[in-house]
Amino acid sequence: MVVAAPDLKTAQQKRLTVTTEVIADDTTVIRSLDWDRDRFDIEFGLQNGTTYNSYLIRGEKVALVDTSHAKFRQLYLDTLKGLIDPAEIDYIVISHTEPDHSGLVKDVLALAPNATVVGAKVALAFLEDLVHQPFDRLQIKSGETVDLGNGHRLEFVNAPNLHWPDTIFTYDQQTSILYTCDAFGAHYCNEDTFDENLEALSPDFRFYYECLMAPNARSVLSAMKRMDKLGEIGTIATGHGPLLRHNLEELTGRYRRWSQEKSKSETIVGVFYVSDYGYSDRISQAIAKGITKTGVTVEMMNLRQADPQEVNELVGRAKGLLIGMPPSSGRGAEETQAAVSTILAAVKDKQTFGLFEAYGGDDEPIDTLQTKLSDLGLKSAFDPIRIKDTPGEVDYQRCEETGTDMGQGLAQAKKIKKIKSLDADLQKALGRISSGLYIITAAQGDVSSAMLASWISQASFQPLGFTVAIAKDRAIESLMQVGDTFVLNILEEGNHLDLMKHFLKRFPPGADRFAGVRTRPATNGSPILADSLAYLECEVASRMELSDHWLVYCTVDDGKVSKEESVTAVHHRKIGNYY
Ligand code: FEO
């Protein structure tokens, strides 16, 4: 049975609701539904809101697995009180301390003062900063258990980096439910508690993986190895979006496949950040996402908990290093500075590096580290990123594009080698496939992008639709997720060179692609190029993954031709193994 609490509108008139449902013996999910959560609010490119899932397990003892976001305070606590007298809660399991799951732990503790907080060592340390009061605690490791009685024996699995270093999974042997918090989740808000509609869920499931999990692909595979040793898993109870039950094998299979793919490159960038310091987590994640788009493997390491041997080992293997500046004083400063010293001692010349500040308020001086690394013979991939205020979508876009540039630089030698190895006759023959010339333009909020495109082909009459192939490392790819809108500008033969030259330029990360170009906004908000022959207003309907491109199928809502007598510019190539 699903029980829904009344709607609540926040000051910004966003719709928030809470539902509960019994999902197994003695087990109830409390889903906080955040219908209109903004893009870039938590993850980049949020389209369909999100949910925060919390679970109540009632054996002889009672456990609450995670809570909710603070914005649900009243709704969540009222709902919880409707299910149980919170004073009866014996354990509060903290899967992960990011405030979207732990934002109400302090409130629950006030109602359940005798509850023991269960979590990984790191989680308990983070939680102290969140609740600012003493609490009973139980620090657990992989394989350890808590017996709630009535068969509900909870077994814990360390799953660091999914998505913070503090993450644990919890497996209930009685119900075969695995509680995974961020892992296997999706920012997808609808009435369905479970994953009935695979087709509808798939694009968000994938995009969430790309944003949060791809930079931690090796950690995903390690966690999945540990999962394989548990008993049968009948349900994955996620922290966001629908719970996986109907398509569990398919969706976990995708995680395995994607993570194997993401971690197979021998070109590795070690990303060193400082969790819970300024916006270091998010900035590093945005840059890492940009790097993974180029096929380069990312391994993330939190400087707060970094084991010197592991730091040493990662620096030794990595071709590139990305370092978020640690604090120069305060909690954990000594450890993080020591970790940076370990990095400096382990670096090799010819490695590439990039540095960023994350608005932590008390950063180690970035220029000093920049100079030290340069003096040691390392090559700077980009000018240090200095975030001087709360980062917004433009900052995250710049960070992602910086990461892509860094990844492209590292992957270039291999790419050239691959291209050279192709058969000359074959590449010439393939080059005889010709196509039109187009500029794709997209704008969402404060973010915009554009790309010269030629691999475009009409694909359907009803609805009117076409496909476009977009290289995975294109900046605009992030703005072409299912449901996103854009404009296809069709270039005019004889009047295309200026636009073509402009958009062929290599733009620095975050640069305005439209500076000096005449545009007007389309109904969907994306720019129409005034000098194009025709334009189409489009929406992404689906995406198919290919080896190095996304094949994006789009439907067309509107369009116009400016000069009836003109024809489309055509692109004739000499070889088929490049554009
Ligand atoms: Fe959903 Fe990393 O918090």
Per-residue model confidence as pLDDT tens digits over 119-154: 999 899 889 888 888 999 999 999 999 999 999 999
pLDDT band at 421 (very low <50, low <70, confident <90, very high): low
> Which ligand 1 atom sits closest to the C-alpha of 98?
3
| Nearby residues of 321 by Cβ (< 8 Å), 6 or more positions away | 269, 270, 272, 315, 343, 347, 351, 352, 353, 354, 373, 378
Task: Find the helix or strand (DSSP H, E) in which 353 lies.
Answer: strand 352-358
pLDDT at residue 361, as a whole number: 87
Measured in Å, residue 206 CA sits from the centre of ligand 1 at 16
Q: What is the mean pLDDT of the chain?
A: 93
The pTM of this model reads 0.89
The answer to whether 95 touches 126, Cβ cutoff 8 Å, is no
The residue whose two tokens read 């510019």 is: 569
> Which ligand 1 atom sits closest to the C-alpha of 212?
2
37 lines ligand 1 (CB under 6 A): no
Q: What's the token pair of residue 119?
A: 């979590």
Q: What is the mean pLDDT of residues 546-557?
A: 96
69 lines ligand 1 (CB under 6 A): no
> Which ligand 1 atom sits closest to the C-alpha of 181?
1
- pLDDT of 8 higher than 60: no
Summarised one tens digit per residue, pLDDT across range 167-209 is 999 999 999 999 999 999 999 999 999 999 999 999 999 999 9
- The alpha carbons of the chain give a radius of gyration, in whole angstroms, of 25
- pLDDT of 66 higher than 70: yes
43 lines ligand 1 (CB under 6 A): no
Question: How many beta carbons lie within 10 A of that of residue 232, not counting itself?
Answer: 6
206 lines ligand 1 (CB under 6 A): no
Residue type, 577: N
Angle between helices 198-208 and 248-262 (to 10 degrees): 30
Q: What's the token pair of residue 555?
A: 């439907």
CA-angle at 501, arms to 499 and 503, nearest 5°: 70
pLDDT at residue 10, as a whole number: 44
| Residue bearing the CA closest to ligand 1, atom 3 | 98
Summarised one tens digit per residue, pLDDT across range 235-273 is 999 999 999 999 999 999 999 999 999 999 889 999 999
Could you give the CA distance from residue 204 to residue 210 in angstroms, rounded to a whole number? 10
pLDDT at residue 48, as a whole number: 84
- pLDDT of 451 higher than 50: yes
Q: What is the mean pLDDT of residues 489-506?
A: 96
276 lines ligand 1 (CB under 6 A): no
Helix segments in 475-551, DSSP class H: 497-504
Summarised one tens digit per residue, pLDDT across range 344-391 is 999 999 899 999 999 988 888 999 999 999 999 999 999 999 999 999
- pLDDT of 512 higher than 80: yes
- pLDDT of 165 higher than 90: no
Could you give the CA distance from residue 380 to residue 337 in angstroms, rounded to a whole number? 21
Beta strands in 412-455, from DSSP E residues, in sequence order? 435-436, 438-444, 447-453
8-12, 52-56, 511-515, 551-555: which range is least confident on average? 8-12
Helix segments in 353-392, DSSP class H: 366-375
163 lines ligand 1 (CB under 6 A): yes
Q: Return the percentage of the chain with pLDDT > 90, whole number.
A: 83
> Which ligand 1 atom sits closest to the C-alpha of 182?
1
| Residue bearing the CA closest to ligand 1, atom 1 | 182
The residue whose two tokens read 């733009």 is: 507
Task: Find the helix or strand (DSSP H, E) in which 403 lies.
Answer: helix 393-420
58 lines ligand 1 (CB under 6 A): no
Q: What is the 3-state secondary structure (H, E, C) of 296-311?
A: CEEEEEECCCCCHHHH
For residue 165, cis peptide bond before it (omega within 30 degrees of 0): no
| Nearby residues of 17 by Cβ (< 8 Å), 6 or more positions away | 4, 5, 6, 7, 8, 32, 33, 35, 75
Question: How many beta carbons lie within 10 A of that of residue 461, not counting itself?
Answer: 7
Summarised one tens digit per residue, pLDDT across range 37-56 is 665 544 555 678 899 999 99
Q: Return the percentage of the chain with pLDDT > 70, whole number.
A: 94
